[in-house]
Amino acid sequence: MSKQQRVMTNTYYQEKYRPHVHFTPESMWMNDPNGLVYFEEEYHLFYQYHPDGKTWGPMHWGHAVSRDLLTWRHLPLALFPDEIGMIFSGSVVVDWNNTSGFFKDGEPGLVAIFTHATGDLQRQSVAYSKDNGRTWEKYVHNPVIDNDNITDFRDPKVFWHEDSSQWIMVLTIGRRVRFYASNNLIDWFTLSDFGENWGAQDGVWECPDLFMLTNEDTEEKKWVLQIGVDDGAYAGGSGTQYFVGNFDGTVFTPDQNPSDVRWIDVGKDFYAAQSFSDMPDDRRIIIAWMSNWTYAEDIPTDPWRSAMTLPRELKLCTIDGCETVVQQPVSELTQLRSVTHDIGRVAVSRERPFRMRQPNAPFEIEFDIEHINGKLECHFFKTGKESFIFSIDNEKSTIERKHFFTDDFSDSFYSLTSAPLPYGTPLRLRAVCDHSSVEWFINDGTQTSTHLFFPTDTTEYNISFQVQSGDVNIKDLSIYELQSVWSNPDQ
């Protein structure tokens, strides 16, 4: 959309289903987040982008920057396909000591490591930027890692490993990962492989990440290996699993058993999560693609398709003897709160459901469940027979998600999904609702569940809590209306 069109229509970012606290491209197709990095007081978000269509196509790297992780400014495309191939996923690091030789002595710069892909051939290449990511130059001797007839050889995540004083790359190869090392980001040598017959194996592994977290309970430092799986996730389709263990600069050794599968998020719409490099405050922040490969190309949005999750801060805790990745929306989100609705205590039974008019999205809702006997249904965007329903079934110890909306674009999208709820009462729940998504954080983020939905075009919705049998006691129920992070850049 041109500047003149935006000003004349005054509809910039006001389309049906357009998120207002989640990142979306202005138009066309987007998928995996790439190259998340902090440099010169800016957070950079690169992403897989097809500028000429609303379905997956010749991949470029889109680019946006932010100073608060929420308010993003779109920049021109960063990387374009060339004679070597399309630009698949990868990462960006700050080369602080100019190990690559791309920059002037004593001046750091940004280096992107990504997959060049043409047909079935996938190889790893490098580009660099001397102007804070605004323009990029590809290394003249790309690719830097060739391919010996390996299928699914992609998505390099690179970081500096202090203990061994070298750059480490983790790369997915089919249903495993391979670790490489380098002193200069150009010349790489193989270290080891991990993953054969480990974890979820139904789909191809993609978009790996490896980082250290300190266990909040034991104060022990552990490494978390996070990997996207393109099929066979807990809720069906694509999802993101993780392993907890140790990395010595050569080999990753997990603490869990090979059959122990742990999911970062048990919802339908959380994939290809990546963390920011070179964070200034030692926080580990991730962003994921908020969609699912089962139906991603069919969701009913226009002129764009796909959104990112909220940025989330990760911590590691021991819960019921299991080291668990815990996540919450970044603290900056609370700065968007405007109007607060403090409802307090609510008793819900079949005879006494709770109902209130839903504030305009986006909004947050928080509440504690003191007591639950039966199954609590939380309805959002409810109009007559339509609603998005998130249920907590105490008898089955499960959470469930289902939709009742009229736009049946995919059977997989509207199918019932459930996940175990490994907690008794009390329960603490927090949800962030945008115009077409909800992210649930249970018990301070020890479990998360992320889902898209597409309600009919109306502005009058209700929120309701109801049970078919039994009763539920809720306390500290609060709703926070959130300000939009988007404004017309031409006004």
Q: What is the pLDDT of residue 489?
A: 58
- Do 293 and 326 fall into the same domain? yes
- Do 396 and 285 fall into the same domain? no
Task: Report the predicted TM-score, pTM, of the whole model to 2 decimal places.
Answer: 0.95
Provide the domain count of the chain: 2
Can you tell me whether residue 384 is helix, strand or coil? coil
Q: What is the pLDDT of residue 424?
A: 73
Q: For residue 141, what are the domain limits?
A: 27-330
Can you tell me which residue has the tokens 């110890």? 397
Q: What is the pLDDT of residue 251?
A: 98
Q: What is the pLDDT of residue 446?
A: 95
- Do 404 and 310 fall into the same domain? no
> Is residue 14 assigned to a domain?
no
Residue 98, amino acid: N
SS3 labels along 264-294: CCCCCCCEEEEECECCCCCCCEEEEECCCCC
Domain boundary (312, 330, 348) is at 330
CATH (domain of 117): 2.115.10.20
The edge-to-edge listing of strands for the beta sheet with 285-289 is: 271-275, 285-289, 312-319, 322-329
- Do 289 and 397 fall into the same domain? no
- Do 324 and 358 fall into the same domain? no
Q: What is the pLDDT of residue 2?
A: 36
> Is residue 11 assigned to a domain?
no
Q: DSSP states of 416-460 as a string?
A: -EEEE----SSEEEEEEE-SSEEEEEETTTTEEEEEE----S-S-
> Is residue 12 assigned to a domain?
no
- Do 396 and 263 fall into the same domain? no
- Do 350 and 262 fall into the same domain? no
Distances (CA, A) of 307 to 27, 188, 272, 291, 311: 11, 34, 12, 7, 12
> Is residue 8 assigned to a domain?
no
> Is residue 6 assigned to a domain?
no
Q: What is the pLDDT of residue 6?
A: 36
- Do 311 and 388 fall into the same domain? no
Ordered per-residue pLDDT tens for the chain, 491 residues: 333 333 334 578 999 999 999 999 999 999 999 999 999 999 999 999 999 999 999 999 999 999 999 999 999 999 999 999 999 999 999 999 999 999 998 899 999 999 999 999 999 999 999 999 999 999 999 999 999 889 999 999 999 999 999 999 999 999 999 999 999 999 999 999 999 999 999 999 999 999 999 999 999 999 999 999 999 998 999 999 999 999 999 999 999 999 999 999 999 999 999 999 999 998 999 999 999 999 999 999 999 999 999 999 999 999 989 999 999 999 999 999 999 999 999 999 999 999 999 999 999 999 999 999 989 999 999 988 789 999 999 888 999 988 877 666 777 787 788 898 877 778 999 999 999 999 999 999 999 999 999 988 777 899 999 998 889 999 999 999 999 998 755 54
> Is residue 18 assigned to a domain?
no
What's the token pair of residue 127? 């580009």
CATH (domain of 439): 2.60.120.560
32 an active-site residue?
Answer: yes
- Do 197 and 230 fall into the same domain? yes
- Do 318 and 464 fall into the same domain? no
> Is residue 105 assigned to a domain?
yes
- Spatial separation of the C-alpha atoms in residues 252 and 72, rounded to whole Å: 35
Residue 412's H or E segment, with its range, is helix 411-414
Task: Classify residue 8 by its DSSP letter.
Answer: H
Q: What is the pLDDT of residue 102?
A: 97
Domain boundary (279, 296, 330) is at 330
Domain boundary (330, 354, 378) is at 330
- Do 315 and 355 fall into the same domain? no
- Do 271 and 358 fall into the same domain? no
